[in-house]
Amino acid sequence: MADRDRIRDARLAPVRRESVILHVDMDSFFVSIERALDPRLARQPVIVGGDPSSRGVVVACSYEVRGRGVRSGMPMGRALSLYPEATVHACRPRYYAQISAGIFRILSRVADKVEQTSVDEAYIALSEEALGWAGELDAGERIRRAVRREYSLAASVGAGPSRMIAKIASRLAKPDGIRVIPPGAVPSVVHPLLAVKMGGIGEKTAARLLSLGIRTIGDLAAADEKHLRRAFGKNGTLLSRLARCEEDFPVLAFRDTPDPKSMSNERTLRRDTDDPERIDEALLFLTERLARRLRSERLVGNVFHMKIRFGDFRTILRSKTLPTPTNDERTLLRLAREAHLRFGEGKPVRLLGVGLSGL
């Protein structure tokens, strides 16, 4: 679930001051995998995406390519007009998902509480009592060394007193670095940043904040909560308290979910898209992650659920009872593809979700 959906839908929990949060973000994940497989690409501009001769879009691109304005979700033809000498590689979502699974096994060796939020990102909760504010540097470096040693890939790591601060720290650490923002450094490091850099604030919300004279995270932290509540309803209170690090979303490992009767995963796409390759990559990630969760808990289910939220925020939910219980990713992927083909093909999609019940 993306941060903006968390702000809208989730119930917030108080920040646990006894814990340190790490945010691990793989650098140019898909591009880095292709470069690890073919070292000749190391100094070349690379685009991973669909067929330029069809409706393919950019799935990922190297930093050099981004420098000329190429972005994920851009039509391949447009991307190549901006950077015609770039090397194009077809997207291989199943292989990327396998590498992702291996990396998150590394993270699980460092801490018990690891929450994977996408194919290339995760949050980790560390005990401050055990580590202190110097210990997360060691934990972050151990993660980075292990990922590089086992997969020849770079990871950026951020640490802070909350998820939001940790994610900001990892962005500041890119590429291939580590950054720690302890509580006392938040005003000097985080408050000057634009409010849109805070998870959960999109362009429309940022524009509304600007109309209220709120430009930076510090402005938001200092704003009168009553005024924010009048402008944004309950989300105003949440945004205010998040900016002040007074509330946060807890890091939840799979084992923290007690005795589920159902399991599900959702993913908000970075941009609304009707591109079949981007959608299939998301479905592959969601179904493989769901299958791993089910198998880790030794569970099977016999009712498949599919959620599709379109670009206009219209949402459909569909269910299908299966003849036999399953936790097989191939079965789940086939069902997800069928549901999207039947109910969502050709429409811009904002969010996808898959689940199993009857566990």
257: Cβ contacts below 8 Å, ≥ 6 apart: 263
Strands (E), 211-261: 247-248
H helix intervals, 24-92: 29-37, 63-66, 76-82
Half-sphere exposure of residue 331, counting CA atoms within 13 Å on the CB side?
18
Backbone angles phi, psi at 114, to 5 degrees: -125, 120
Strands (E), 161-261: 178-180, 247-248
Contact between residue 251 and residue 107 where contact means Cβ atoms under 8 Å apart = no
- Category of 339 on φ-ψ map: left (φ > 0), alpha (ψ -120 to 50) or beta: alpha
Half-sphere exposure of residue 145, counting CA atoms within 13 Å on the CB side?
7
Q: Which tokens is 89 given?
A: 């590689």
Is 141 marked active-site? no
Of 64, 121, 266, 297, which residue is the catalytic one? 121
C-alpha 84/C-alpha 88 separation (Å) is: 10
- Category of 28 on φ-ψ map: left (φ > 0), alpha (ψ -120 to 50) or beta: left
265: Cβ contacts below 8 Å, ≥ 6 apart: 286, 289, 290, 293, 353, 354, 355
Backbone angles phi, psi at 268, to 5 degrees: -90, 125
Q: Which residues are catalytic?
A: 121
